[in-house]
Amino acid sequence: MTTVDAIVIGAGPTGLACGLELQKRGVTVLLLDKGCVVNSIYNYPTHMTFFTTPELLEIGDIPMTSLNDKPTRGEALKYYRRVAAHYKLNIHQDEGVDSFSGHDGDFTVHTPKATYQAKKMVIASGYYDVPNLLNCPGEDLPKVAHYYTEPHPYFDHDVLVVGAKNSAAIAALELYRTGARVTMVHRGPEIHRHVKYWIKPDIENRIKAKEVQAFFNTTVAQIKLDSVILNTPQGEVEIPNQFVFAMTGYRPDLTFLNAHGITFQPDTQKPRTNPETLESERPGVFLAGVIVAGMHTNEIFIENGRFHGAQIAEAIAKQLR
């Protein structure tokens, strides 16, 4: 059985930051991820450009370069691979954690492949793997997706995009420009006010020109094989449909956290942590990244979550000393 000082669940940017900061302090560490390194970024749209500048994505004192002012998904993947290789981080990809048990100083971690021992646990599992569901009949049909990658396969198809934030607006614009017949549905009255300033007028103009059809104050009532039924202010409307992208956001895996002794504030759903160390109410278990924000996932991004690594590593190194 492999024994280390700390195990980090998740090898996204924040998990990598935790791993390298622990390693810098002489703490032996193993990172476990059910997907690949920075799996969430890998699942971003193929041609996505970040809304931030390269230096705000940097970890481990390694500079990030970009051909333009804002880095692309491909550049970010290359950068984080380089960080992992530079620090020779011990990362087990495609090995998710089923459960862990034990107490501070003596945890046992179970995966489908092996069992490990660790003195400390860091959960940096993010939230991108748990989509917010529409909870309507037909959502389990193969034509429904909660992740959007690229538009080409949807040329000359009727496509429904549910949502009106950045991801939904970008998907709708790319699909439209690739020749899909796009309809947007949003339960609110308009395109979300937080959509980036260079995207918002673009999608609003496409809607105004009727190049993209939009239903506001509307929800999806049912998804059928060749159509969808919408609940609009004027009543039920059925429109032709071949594919649905439910871009309704994501949330932390509260089931996993609850099962492992992580408790939450009832008003914000934020997990209870020590603000100085990010140690949870379960001694020896630390939380990093967006899961610290609970249901308010728009409060923590790579830009600020990356600093959790040094914060947690310092606390763990001090406790182990």
What pLDDT digit, counting tens, does each position of 88-127 carry?
999 999 999 999 999 999 999 999 999 999 999 999 999 8
Cβ 273 vs Cβ 279: under 8 Å: yes
Residues 204 and 316 in one domain: no
* Boundary (domain end) residue, out of 214, 246, 278: 246
Q: Are 311 and 225 found together in one domain?
A: no
At 24 the pLDDT is 97
pLDDT for the residue numbered 295: 65
Could you tell me the two tokens for 30? 């193993």
Q: Are residues 10 and 125 in the same domain?
A: yes
- Are residues 66 and 171 both part of a single domain? no
**Residue 49's CATH number:** 3.50.50.60
Greatest pairwise CA separation for the chain in angstroms = 66
pLDDT tens-digit series, residues 14-44: 999 999 999 999 999 999 999 999 999 999 9
Same domain as 254, residue 234:
no
**126 in the same domain as 265:** yes
Number of independent structural domains in the chain: 2
Angle (CA) 13 19 24, round 5°: 125
DSSP 3-state helix, strand, coil percentages of the chain (rounded to 5)? 30, 25, 45
Alpha-carbon dihedral angle through residues 63, 66, 70, 72, given to the nearest 10 degrees: -110
Domain membership of residue 139 (yes or no) is: no
Q: What confidence score (pLDDT) does residue 129 get?
A: 82
Q: Are residues 170 and 220 in the same domain?
A: yes
Q: Is residue 308 part of a domain?
A: yes
User: Are 268 and 296 in a shared domain?
Assistant: yes
Task: State the CB neighbour count (10 A cutoff) for residue 54.
Answer: 18
Q: What is the pTM of this model?
A: 0.91
Q: What is the pLDDT of residue 269?
A: 81
- Measuring CA to CA, how many Å separate 267 from each of 264, 301, 309, 313? 9, 21, 27, 29
- Cβ atoms of 128 and 40 within 8 Å: the answer is yes
Q: What is the pLDDT along the chain (321 residues), one digit of tens a residue?
A: 899 999 999 999 999 999 999 999 999 999 999 999 999 999 999 999 998 999 999 999 999 999 999 999 999 999 999 999 999 999 999 999 999 999 999 999 999 999 999 999 999 999 888 899 999 999 999 999 999 999 999 999 999 999 999 999 999 999 999 999 999 999 999 999 989 999 999 999 999 999 999 999 999 999 999 999 999 999 999 999 999 999 999 888 888 999 999 988 888 888 999 999 999 999 999 999 998 987 676 777 778 888 999 999 999 999 999
Based on the domain organization, do 55 and 150 belong to the same domain?
A: no
Boundary-marking domain end, from 246, 269, 292: 246
54 CB-side CA count, 13 A: 18
Q: Within this chain, do residues 46 and 112 fall inside the same structural domain, yes or no?
A: yes
Query: Could you list the residue range(s) of the whole structural domain that residue 170 is in?
Result: 144-246
Residues 112 and 21 in one domain: yes
136 in a structural domain? no
**pLDDT confidence of residue 1:** 84
Number of alpha helices (DSSP H) and beta strands (DSSP E) in the chain: 8, 15
- 37 lies in the same domain as 123: yes
